[in-house]
Each structure stands twice: as structure tokens, then as C-alpha cells.
Amino acid sequence: MPNSTREYLLLSQGVAQLDARLKQANLLDITMEHAGRNLADEVTRRWPAVQTPLLVLVGSGANGGDALVATRHLRARGYDPVVVSLSAKHPLTQQNRRRLLALGVQIAPLTRRSLLSSVKVRPIVLDGLLGTGFVPPLRPALAELITLLNEAALTVLSIDIPSGLAADSAAPCELCVQASVTAPLGSLKPAVVYGPANHAAGEVMPPLDLCLPRSYLASQAIAQRLEDAEVGAWLPRRFASAHKGTAGRVWILGGHPGTVGAPLLSARGALRAGAGLVTLYSPAEVPLLTPEVMIRPWPQQPKTLSDEFLTRDKPDAVAVGMGLGPSAAKTARLVLSWNVPVVIDADALQPELAHLAHANTILTPHPGEAARLLETDTAHITRNPLSAARELQQRFGGVVVLKGGPSTVATPEALFVVRGGHPGMATAGMGDTLAGVLAALLGQGLSATQAALVGTRLHTLAGERAAQIHGYGLIASDVTEQLGKAWQVLERS
């Protein structure tokens, strides 16, 4: 797969290892120069008037060095920034401090008094206090300064991550800079990608280019985020000779009294994602709300269905579990024994399925279901969704889609973060729809990895479009109806 357009996620340890490699190659100073210049470009783009009051907060580490380089470039463009700084400890920060002083820029110590004096003019703030090397808690003096800054409610552009945020964790910070914009350097960090930590980051820009070989970032990345063009290249293509029998036969196994809506949403999702024939099997009586869906009773002895499967009506893919109730795990085991592409969702996501998934299996837990599968609590999952997704994949096999904002896809080889989505999608039935979409893509011949990445992005794109139409209060059916348009957008990317 081409990777020239991918964004990479690095942990703090990966950043440290990358810096060590750059230092050994005598490239660290050049990288900091690129970072600072690109930061200055972003400030110039957003606030082009050189009369704009700018306050630059400089820390003692490399993050402070990036801020100093940006300040030098901004000064050369006619800006007159006010710089307040902690004592420099990083050699490159010391070096760039000397360069700035040589240009006649005054640098004041960062104190309560200097900060209060500076914020009176309501400046734009460039936050370069703390970077990925920071480990909580904050020192009391710095905590006081960050509290004062937040209380001033200024426009803040944070460099790489908001100061005080722990780079590797999705947990909320006890106290950190509340940024308006965050400009990641070279790569994304988990704290600015996953909530609730990223609530402090404001608008998160695409990573600024550090003019590094892509292999440098890839070698340290814990996860990747794909561009739509790469995902769109995997969309199934139909020839003019296609018919319903060649477009994918999908079975939906779900529903019991009181939850028949769940498999119906899955069935509609499968149809809108291109499945040629969709059959819904359920032990409950399911109303014919969608006439394009064939509805059949789930037999009292599921083995008879297995016999039927083996003799005549073989599906190309199956989604199992949506509203199926207590029998879901047993049913999932049966379906897995058929060795057809399968999506395991909702009630079927049970710990007893450990190590049973085959290569064409997609498991789709939300954080609560993931906690059940790993026999832990939901907070453990949401604090570090990357490690949770990896642990799920290692324990159960197949491909895992850990749903959330954003979702994480774990394959045997890699971790991916899904682009896009909308908070309005946090309503019942969204996951049922996604299960049907994934089954449809499996049924059209995509691998489990391809189906997971294409299907989740289709789903988030459809959610974005539905939000534009309906605003607040999205329902799953709103998203289903936008899948076709989302497909077109992804196809043209």
C-alpha cells in the first residue's frame, strides 16, 4: 500500500527515539528550524496583520526551542512578539534563545507578574511551554501560571500538544492549557486524537511537515491515519454485467423480542453499502419495514441452518449478534465454524470467543463491550484505546474495530485511527448500521482489513453529511440514508 499521504501517531517514547536518531545524524537543529518556520507560517496565515499582539510562552525543553524559532521568523516578517520564558535547559533551546537575543528581541522570565502584564492586551498566545516529554503532575508554580492563562480565555495556539497534557493518554488532564488550535509537529499524539483528552486541544491541525523521510516517522509510529484517497481506492467496483447474485449475499443474524430494530438497521446498512441480496434471520417476528430485505425465521435447532448453508444458500458474508440476546455467543461460534467472512457485533461479543476468530472476521465492540471482552472496566479501554484495540485483536484474532470518537482498527499487522465522524453519531443503532456496512463490503470481496477501514470511513463520512442536514439529534437511519453520497465522496477522493 502507498503510504505517502498517511499521518502517523507517535507515543512520547517514539518521539524521544526519533529525536535521538535525528541528533545522531546531526539533523535535530534542522528539524527544529523547519518546525519553527512552519509554525510561523501558520500564525501568519491565521493572523496576517503584523500589528496582532503575540505572546510567546517558552518552556525549557525542545518545545520551547520550536517556539523560539517561530518567534525569530515572525520577527523577520514584521511582528513584534512579547516573549516570556522559563530557564532554557535543552541545548537547542539555549542556542535559539541566543539567536533571538542577538536580533534584539527581549525575553522576560515567565512569572505571575510578567504573564498578568502580557495578557492585558488580549494577545494571541503561542504555547511552547511543555511538550511530549512532560509527565504529570505539574509543578505548583507552573500550574498557577497555566490556571491564570486559562482564566484569561485567550486564543491559544499550542505547539505539538497543549502544555500539561500527557501525550500518550486519552484521559482528561487535571490541568493543562486550553488551546484554541493545536499544531502537531510531524506526527499526531494520542492525547490530541482521542477524547476526552483532546477536548483541551481545540482544532487539531494536520501535522506540520518537518522535512523528514517518511520512513523515520513510520519506524516509530504506533498507529496510522489514512487519507481518503487511499481508503477510496479499495471501494468495490461493479462491471455492467453485475447482478444481485454477484454483488454479495449477506446474512444478518439478530433480533429477539424487543430488539428487532437492531438487525433491521444492519440489513438496511448492508443494502446501502451495496449488498446484492440481504437475508435477515431472527428468532423473533420481524416486521417487513424494508421490503428489499428477505426475512426468515431462525430455526429452533441452529444446526439445521448450518445444513441449509452447506447445501444451497451459502452467504458471501454474515453479520451476527445485533439484538440477538442470550443465544448470540452460541450462534457466533456456529457461524465462525462455517469459515465465511463474518462481522461479530453487540450481543455476540463475548469472552468465550477468545482465539476463535479467523482471518476474515471483524469484531466491532464499543468501549463497554470491549471491557466485557477483556474482563476489565470501561475506563481502562477509554484511557488508552490503542493498547485496548491491540489487546483485543491479540486475544480474539481477526480484525477489531474498537468503536469510538474516533474508532480504532487493529489488524494483525498494524493499528489505524479512523478519520472523521460527528458527535451526533453517539446514539443507539449506529453500531448496528456499521455492522451491516462491514458485512456488505466483506460480501463484495474486500479483505477484513480493507472492509474495516473502508466501512468505518464510509460510516463517519455519512455521519458528517447527516449532521449537515439534520444538525443535532441524529438517528442511525439518517446516517444510513447518506451512505450512498458518502460512497461517492470517497470514490472521488
Q: Is 254 helix (H, G, I), strand (E, B) or coil?
A: coil
Q: Is residue 98 part of a domain?
A: yes
Give me the phi and psi of 220, to 5 degrees please. Answer: -110, 0
User: Number of structural domains, the chain?
Assistant: 2
- Indicate if the pLDDT at residue 1 is higher than 60: no
Whether residues 214 and 310 share a domain: the answer is no
Whether residues 235 and 209 share a domain: the answer is no
State the sign of the Cα–Cα–Cα–Cα dihedral 224, 417, 251, 236. Answer: negative
Q: Is residue 154 part of a domain?
A: yes
Q: Is residue 5 part of a domain?
A: no
Which residue's entry shows cell 505517502?
4
Q: Could you tell me the pLDDT band of residue 301, with boundaries at 50, 70 and 90?
A: low
What pairing do the DSSP bridges indicate for beta strands 223-225 and 7-9?
antiparallel
Whether residues 204 and 107 share a domain: the answer is yes
* Cα atoms found within 13 Å of the Cα of residue 281, Cβ hemisphere only: 22
The pLDDT, as a whole number, for residue 299 is: 75
**In sequence order, what are the residues at sequence separation of 6 or more whose Cβ sits closer than 8 angstroms to the Cβ of residue 410?**
389, 390, 392, 393, 399, 400, 402, 416
**In sequence order, what are the residues at sequence separation of 6 or more whose Cβ sits closer than 8 angstroms to the Cβ of residue 427?**
473, 474, 475, 476
Q: Could you tell me the pLDDT band of residue 313, with boundaries at 50, 70 and 90?
A: confident
The burial of 324, by beta-carbon neighbours within 10 Å (0-12 exposed, 13-18 middle, 19 or more buried), is given as buried
**Where a domain ends, among 178, 195, 225?**
225
CATH code at 331? 3.40.1190.20
Whether residues 400 and 264 share a domain: the answer is yes
Q: Is 95 helix (H, G, I), strand (E, B) or coil?
A: helix
Q: Could you tell me the pLDDT band of residue 3, with boundaries at 50, 70 and 90?
A: very low
Q: Is residue 7 part of a domain?
A: no
Whether residues 206 and 288 share a domain: the answer is no
Whether residues 189 and 267 share a domain: the answer is no
Q: Tens digits of per-residue pLDDT, 325-358?
A: 999 999 999 999 999 999 999 999 999 999 999 9
**Where a domain ends, among 225, 249, 279?**
225
Q: Tens digits of per-residue pLDDT, 221-246?
A: 999 999 999 999 999 988 887 888 77
351 cis-preceded (ω within 30 degrees of 0): no
Select the more confidently predicted residue: 142 or 288.
142
What does the mean pLDDT of the chain come to? Answer: 94
Q: Tens digits of per-residue pLDDT, 390-399?
A: 999 999 999 9
Give me the phi and psi of 479, to 5 degrees please. Answer: -70, -40
Whether residues 106 and 171 share a domain: the answer is yes
- Indicate if the pLDDT at residue 310 is higher than 70: no
Instruction: Answer whether 254's CB lies under 8 Å from 282's CB.
Output: yes
Q: Is residue 198 part of a domain?
A: yes
CATH code at 73? 3.40.50.10260
Task: Give the number of other CB atoms < 10 A from CB of residue 28.
Answer: 20
Q: Is residue 1 part of a domain?
A: no
Whether residues 245 and 211 share a domain: the answer is no
Whether residues 205 and 246 share a domain: the answer is no
**Where a domain ends, among 157, 192, 225?**
225
Whether residues 266 and 312 share a domain: the answer is yes
* Mean pLDDT, range 411-425, rounded to an integer: 95
Q: Is residue 116 part of a domain?
A: yes
Q: Is residue 466 part of a domain?
A: yes
* Cα atoms found within 13 Å of the Cα of residue 462, Cβ hemisphere only: 25
Of all residues in the chain, the percent with pLDDT exceeding 70 is: 97
Q: Could you tell me the pLDDT band of residue 31, with boundaries at 50, 70 and 90?
A: very high
Q: Tens digits of per-residue pLDDT, 115-129?
A: 999 999 999 999 999
Q: Is 475 helix (H, G, I), strand (E, B) or coil?
A: coil
| Chain centre to alpha carbon of residue 61 | 28
Set of cell numbers at residue 180: 484554541
The pLDDT, as a whole number, for residue 183 is: 98
The kind and range of the H/E element at 311 are helix 302-311
The pLDDT, as a whole number, for residue 305 is: 62
Whether residues 336 and 190 share a domain: the answer is no
- Indicate if the pLDDT at residue 308 is higher than 70: no
**Strands of 5-106, DSSP E:** 7-9, 54-58, 82-85
The pLDDT, as a whole number, for residue 243 is: 82
CA-CA distance, 70 to 85, in Å (whole number)?
14
Which residue's entry shows cell 465465511?
340
**In sequence order, what are the residues at sequence separation of 6 or more whose Cβ sits closer than 8 angstroms to the Cβ of residue 408?**
223, 385, 386, 388, 389, 400, 401, 402, 415, 416, 417, 418
Whether residues 368 and 385 share a domain: the answer is yes
Q: Is 72 helix (H, G, I), strand (E, B) or coil?
A: helix
Range of the domain at 397: 228-492
